[in-house]
Amino acid sequence: MNENIVHHLRDVLELEPEEIPSLYETFLRSFGECAGRLRAAVAAPDYVAIRAATHTLMGFARNIGANDLGDAALALNAAAHAADPAACALGVREIEELLQRYQAEAPAPASPA
């Protein structure tokens, strides 16, 4: 798991170690859903939808301690405000790369006993 997120969840939100993997999985699921909405909105382009999705993503990212994701979402939000399709395309690619990285860092599912 991403060490920044683990640190944030443990030290800032004071979660117990056994609670962290479940919340990380919820984060990945929500992140993936939001990335899908962003892909569709950037393809359209639908700047209102991009701004809405990035707003959600910024809040969720900051709350869980994924500051790199929050920064990427903020940059994509600014590109949507500027109605810049090239910057939006770059922004969504950066967010998708972050999603892939976070997914690669996810803990392996527990094996049945």
pLDDT tens string for the chain (113 positions)? 778 888 888 888 888 888 888 888 888 899 999 999 999 999 999 999 999 999 999 998 998 899 999 999 999 999 999 999 999 999 999 999 999 998 898 776 555 55
Half-sphere exposure of 85 (CA within 13 A, CB side): 7
Asked whether the whole model's pTM tops 0.95, one would answer no
| Alpha-carbon span 27 to 109, nearest angstrom | 15
**In the chain, what are the domains?**
3-104 (1.20.120)
**Residue pair 49/81 in contact by the 8 Å Cβ criterion:** no
